[in-house]
């Protein structure tokens, strides 16, 4: 990723990943959205067109061969209760492990390794029935005891535990039945089982979790063979995979190439077969290059995609004054940022994309310099001074470029701010403790909006100086009520209206100055088949490529 914030470039990759892990541990929290891979039409219209059937093969799959996949980063292990999985980790995980649940083409959770996940009448208890006869790579059975152990490792994990605070208990209800009880109704819970939290690890991995972090044992389509951190991960075909006939490839080699230009060169030079990127220039270049088959997630709408914004510390003066926040939003010209830097991304006015069921038109304070100046004048008349503050970003060239552009826009409105670059881990600490004014951020990808509960809830908006997962510290009781309604309601229409209301409240409160949604590209050599055609166990379509996720389980080479 060109403008990310770390190895995983924190806000672009890691933040979303860690956020997803903590909030829901859901792969699909990162994997936002779905839909057809038809012609891309972002607001800028600058993404080249891709064929509607790109990455979808109807021919008879051919068995054999090795696939080399270039990833944007390296991960720090295979135990999702210890390792921080971003999109690369999720790809590694999907190759070696199975999740209890997966997300279908419409963004709905469907059983995967589980045969069924059945809630009780008020969604406070879930009965997970496992598939019979499935074995881990070490030959042990995937049974209730193993799944309980795996889920409990997540519940007890400092990393994933916060997302599962609503879980009251996980017990075996029989040899192949797991019961999960919740403290309050939680209809979105199955979605959480589609990612890191629902990844089922073999008991052998959990005897010594640290050792298991390096030698994964799952039940997935490929078996771990070798991992040399920062060089390659090799997995080989699982001949006993429970989905008969799959996988088609003999082996897969994942090669982390963090520099986006080097990754693109590796594909062009033929060193790798398929890669992902969210660099705007690469997205444009490859979608216009007929030598490669490319798909983007720009039209996917089944789940919520990662959004990019400037986050305001609403607990800190002068930002506790709504007029200042509104002035900042009115002074931000999204279209200028879009035309200069984030050319392929889609501008937004709410965390929900315009084709999401949770989206509704909102009265967001869009660019209007006159209004910004008027609000600031009113503020100055009251307080006797104009606001001055620090506008922070991380130590990345493109992020600095973007933030400097925003600084210049705000200057036009009469707002003086200083740009500050902060090292990544310090950046997180400052956000957690509220030691910042306004800063660039990326987050909120989710299969189900409930996964953003901890980030948006007033309950997690601690005062400055105390750790708070609601980084903006926006204490809007209406948002709290709507989040509760969205979490506990069994009626989908009620849930939709709750999250639509949250979108409106964000527009009213202005804790975030929205910029855009990231567009991801997956591009491959023409002989890489079926890379955008994941299926459920019954053959029906699953969630298509989102957030750069490449599922190697259904790929074959022609």
Partner 1 sequence: MAGLALRKFLLLIPVVFIVSVATFLLLNLLPGNPVYLILGPGATPKGVAQLTAQLHLNRPIYDRYADWLWAALHGNFGESYLNHVASSSLIKQALPVTLELLIYSQVIALAVSVPLGVYAARRPGGWVDQGSSSVAFGLLAAPAFLVGVLLVGLFAVHWHLFPATGYRHLSSDPGGNLRSLFLPSVTLAVGLLAVYLRLLRSDMIATLQQDYITVARAKGLRPRYILWRHAFRPSMFSLVTVIGLNVGALIGGAFLVEVIFGIPGIGSLTLHSIYQRDYLVVQACVLIIAVGYVLVNFTVDLIYPLLDPRVRRVRS
Decide: is 29 part of the binding site for partner 1 (CB under 8 A): no
Nearer to partner 1, 214 or 374 (CB): 214
Q: Radius of gyration over alpha carbons of the chain, in Å? A: 23
Binding residue for partner 1, selected from 35, 77, 220, 480, defined by CB under 8 A: 77
Q: Minimum CB separation from partner 1 for residue 39, in Å?
A: 28
Segment lying near partner 1 (by CB under 8 A), choices 262-270, 284-292, 501-509, 542-550 = 262-270
d(CA 546, CA 303): 9
Closest CA to 449 of 395, 372, 502, 380: 502
Decide: is 106 part of the binding site for partner 1 (CB under 8 A): no
Q: By the 8 A CB rule, do 195 and 95 touch?
A: no
Decide: is 397 part of the binding site for partner 1 (CB under 8 A): no
CA distances from 330 to 286, 376, 502 (A): 35, 11, 20
Restricting to residues 147-176, which ones interact with partner 1 according to CB under 8 A?
158-163
Decide: is 135 part of the binding site for partner 1 (CB under 8 A): no
Nearer to partner 1, 96 or 142 (CB): 96
Binding residue for partner 1, selected from 126, 471, 499, 514, defined by CB under 8 A: 471
Q: Minimum CB separation from partner 1 for residue 159, in Å?
A: 6
Decide: is 504 part of the binding site for partner 1 (CB under 8 A): no
Decide: is 472 part of the binding site for partner 1 (CB under 8 A): no
Segment lying near partner 1 (by CB under 8 A), choices 21-29, 146-154, 199-207, 233-241 = 21-29
Q: Minimum CB separation from partner 1 for residue 101, in Å?
A: 21
Residues in the chain: 558
φ and ψ of 416, to 5 deg: -100, 120
Residues contacting residue 40 through CB under 8 Å, at least 6 positions apart = 47, 48, 49, 50, 287, 296, 298, 299, 519
Residue 145, token pair as written in the block: 């005891």
Nearer to partner 1, 108 or 232 (CB): 232
CA distances from 288 to 47, 51, 370, 482, 530 (A): 8, 11, 40, 43, 20
Counting Cα atoms < 13 Å in the Cβ hemisphere of 355 gives: 20
Decide: is 258 part of the binding site for partner 1 (CB under 8 A): yes
d(CA 278, CA 370): 35
Closest CA to 183 of 494, 488, 489, 492: 488
Segment lying near partner 1 (by CB under 8 A), choices 251-259, 284-292, 293-301, 475-483 = 251-259
Q: Minimum CB separation from partner 1 for residue 350, in Å?
A: 21
Nearer to partner 1, 161 or 173 (CB): 161
Place of tokens 């890379």: 531
Binding residue for partner 1, selected from 1, 2, 22, 188, defined by CB under 8 A: 22
Nearer to partner 1, 177 or 420 (CB): 420
Q: By the 8 A CB rule, do 387 and 331 touch?
A: no
Counting Cα atoms < 13 Å in the Cβ hemisphere of 139 gives: 0
Decide: is 459 part of the binding site for partner 1 (CB under 8 A): no
d(CA 40, CA 94): 27
Residue 378, token pair as written in the block: 């009113």
Decide: is 321 part of the binding site for partner 1 (CB under 8 A): no
Decide: is 270 part of the binding site for partner 1 (CB under 8 A): yes
d(CA 81, CA 212): 11
Q: How many residues bind partner 1 (CB under 8 A)?
A: 60
Q: Minimum CB separation from partner 1 for residue 44, in Å?
A: 27
d(CA 398, CA 368): 25
Decide: is 525 part of the binding site for partner 1 (CB under 8 A): no
Restricting to residues 203-242, which ones interact with partner 1 according to CB under 8 A?
210-211, 213-214, 228-231
Residue 516, token pair as written in the block: 């855009």
Binding residue for partner 1, selected from 108, 131, 246, 268, defined by CB under 8 A: 268
Q: By the 8 A CB rule, do 25 and 198 touch?
A: yes
Q: What is the contact surface with partner 1 in residues (CB under 8 A)?
A: 6-7, 14-15, 17-19, 21-23, 70, 74, 76-77, 82-84, 158-163, 210-211, 213-214, 228-231, 255-259, 261-263, 265-266, 268-272, 423-426, 428-429, 431-432, 443, 454-455, 467, 469, 471
């Amino acid at each position: 990723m060109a403008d990310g914030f770390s190895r995983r470039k924190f806000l672009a990759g890691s933040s979303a990943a860690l956020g997803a892990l903590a909030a829901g541990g859901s792969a699909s929290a990162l994997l936002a959205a779905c839909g057809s891979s038809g012609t891309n039409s972002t607001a800028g219209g600058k993404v080249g067109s891709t064929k509607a059937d790109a990455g979808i093969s109807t021919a008879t799959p051919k068995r054999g061969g090795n696939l080399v996949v270039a990833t944007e980063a390296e991960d720090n292990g295979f135990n999702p209760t210890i390792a921080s999985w971003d999109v690369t980790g999720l790809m590694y995980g999907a190759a070696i492990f199975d999740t209890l649940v997966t997300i279908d083409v419409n963004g709905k959770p469907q059983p995967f390794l589980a045969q069924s996940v059945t809630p009780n009448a008020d969604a406070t208890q879930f009965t997970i029935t496992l598939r019979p006869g499935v074995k881990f790579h070490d030959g042990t059975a995937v049974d209730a005891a193993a799944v309980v152990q795996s889920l409990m490792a997540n519940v007890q994990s400092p990393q994933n535990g916060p997302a599962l605070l609503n879980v009251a208990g996980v017990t075996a209800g029989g040899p192949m039945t797991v019961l999960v009880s919740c403290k309050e109704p939680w209809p979105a819970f199955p979605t959480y089982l589609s990612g890191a939290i629902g990844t089922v690890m073999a008991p052998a991995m959990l005897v010594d979790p640290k050792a298991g972090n390096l030698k994964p044992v799952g039940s997935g389509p490929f078996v771990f063979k070798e991992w040399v951190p920062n060089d390659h991960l090799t997995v080989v075909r699982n001949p006993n995979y429970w989905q008969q006939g799959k996988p088609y490839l003999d082996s897969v080699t994942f090669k982390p190439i963090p520099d986006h230009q080097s990754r693109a060169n590796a594909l062009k030079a033929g060193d790798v077969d398929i890669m992902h990127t969210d660099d705007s220039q690469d997205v444009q270049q490859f979608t216009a290059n007929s030598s490669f088959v490319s798909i983007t997630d720009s039209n996917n709408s089944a789940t919520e995609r990662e959004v990019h914004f400037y986050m305001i510390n609403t607990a800190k003066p002068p930002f506790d004054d709504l007029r200042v926040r509104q002035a900042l939003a009115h002074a931000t010209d999204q279209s200028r940022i879009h035309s200069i830097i984030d050319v392929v991304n889609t501008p937004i006015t709410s965390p929900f994309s315009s084709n999401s069921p949770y989206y509704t038109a909102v009265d967001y304070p869009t660019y209007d310099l006159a209004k910004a100046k008027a609000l600031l004048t009113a503020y100055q008349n009251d307080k006797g001074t104009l606001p001055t503050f620090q506008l922070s970003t991380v130590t990345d060239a493109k992020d600095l470029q973007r933030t400097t552009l925003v600084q210049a826009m705000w200057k036009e409105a009469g707002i003086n701010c200083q740009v500050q670059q902060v090292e990544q881990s310090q950046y997180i600490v400052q956000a957690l403790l509220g030691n910042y004014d306004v800063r660039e951020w990326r987050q909120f990808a989710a299969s189900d909006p409930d996964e953003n509960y901890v980030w948006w809830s007033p309950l997690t908006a601690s005062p400055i100086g105390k750790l708070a997962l609601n980084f903006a510290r926006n204490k809007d009781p209406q948002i709290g009520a709507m989040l509760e309604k969205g979490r506990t309601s069994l009626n989908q229409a009620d849930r939709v209206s709750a999250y639509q209301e949250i979108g409106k409240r964000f527009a009213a409160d202005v804790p975030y100055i929205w910029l855009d949604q990231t567009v991801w590209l997956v591009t491959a050599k023409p002989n890489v088949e079926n890379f955008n055609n994941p299926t459920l166990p019954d053959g029906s379509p699953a969630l298509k490529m989102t957030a750069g996720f490449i599922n190697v389980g259904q790929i074959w080479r022609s």
